[in-house]
Structure 1
Amino acid sequence: MASGVAHELNQPLSVIRMGATFLSKMINKGRKIKDEELRTVTEQIVGQVDRASAIINHMRDFARVGIKTTDLDVNLPIKNIIGIFGQQFKVRDIAIELDLDDNLPHIMADSNKLEQVLLNLVVNARHVIEEKGEPGGKVTIRSFSDKGRVAVSVSDTGNGIPDHILDKIFEPFFTTKKVGAGTGLGLSISYGIVKDYGGTIDVKTEVGIGTTFVLKFPPCSNAK
């Protein structure tokens, strides 16, 4: 874990150092820095600072202290996510289909944390659909009962996950995205959150067809 964090942070820090070194040398030599060069270097530095901050914030989430739970309707965080981000999918011509069971028992979880999990899955779904580059992409979110447990599934019509990386997707810092496009912590954090609430997260995938993540939680002890 420590080596992974060091590797991820070293990349933005190296870019920041290069930019700062360039500016320092130009100033020490009394050379005028062109506006375009100055703008490019400062934008790169700011971008890499943001990336380093994102990595640190992800690590804070990964090292969660304490578990906050409340009696929760699992459909609530789903509706919140779609209400906030649904327009982004519409603009990208990606359909979102909801199939929610309104009669499910409640679970013990934190709405904000569950929103974090769902947001990560939905954003990943959008990414793989855009990566596939075919029209008619769709994300389907379902809530349903499965053998006495409360289940939520997020399905996409992306390219699916190859077998040789399927067992790595929940590992910290594992990502198939380009350098700088992701920290590789989203799924590992989501896995930890789901486990905190006594749940499980499984993956069903078919290369060329798409992927479905299935979350399952125990119902509240007072649920009928």
Structure 2
Amino acid sequence: MRYYESSQTFHYNWEQVVKAFWCRYPNPFSSHVLSEDVVHRRVDSSGKLLTKRLISKTNSAPKWTERFLTSKNVLVVEESVLDPNGHTLTTYTRNIGLKHLMTIEEKVTYRSSDDGKGWTVADRQAWIDSSVFGLSSAVQRFGLERFKKNVSKACQGFNFVLTALYDNLNPEVVTTSENHISINPLLREKLKEKALRATEFAAAAKSKAVPIVVAAHRHDSS
């Protein structure tokens, strides 16, 4: 098994990051994400919002893995716990497809930074494992390197969405290593609309369970 951990800082406050979390896709860095669906959502007795989403992704794979692949698409389960009182959003992600080749489990905690700047830190942990006879080490190495690249893309994509939503408040420009990525006005409006709907249940979690469930169902059905 390979273990990976890292921390990323987003130059936005925790509430902004939480709102943007629900509309990370689409963005120019997530073309491998095919779909996302909320399959369950509820508020527990302590006021925490519990959400389970099913995400479909595709990734290119080296030729030596082709004989192990039944499909290039993989289903991923993302479970999240939003604690509005503790100001944390914790996500647990695992693949439920292609487990015969490799398993990746990830935990990310979004919290306010400790430096007093009002920014948000994402503490990330991941476990990559494989039980392919004779190739487990190679598969784990490949999985770790692929995971690192995907983390970089995920952070770029998240920053893109954050900038699209809050660029009037934050002057940072999102770029790739090759060229500047401009923000399509239609995409900006779509992201803002999704963030507005997400705000309904994220904010309601601070007070009552009933309104947040109503808002969540409204969000899911739209």
Query: Taking structure 1 as the reference length, what is the TM-score of the superposition?
Result: 0.26
Q: Which has the larger radius of gyration?
A: 1
Going by fraction, where is helix more abundant, 1 or 2?
1
Higher relative contact order (CA 8 A, sep 6+): 2
Query: Taking structure 2 as the reference length, what is the TM-score of the superposition?
Result: 0.26
Going by fraction, where is strand more abundant, 1 or 2?
2
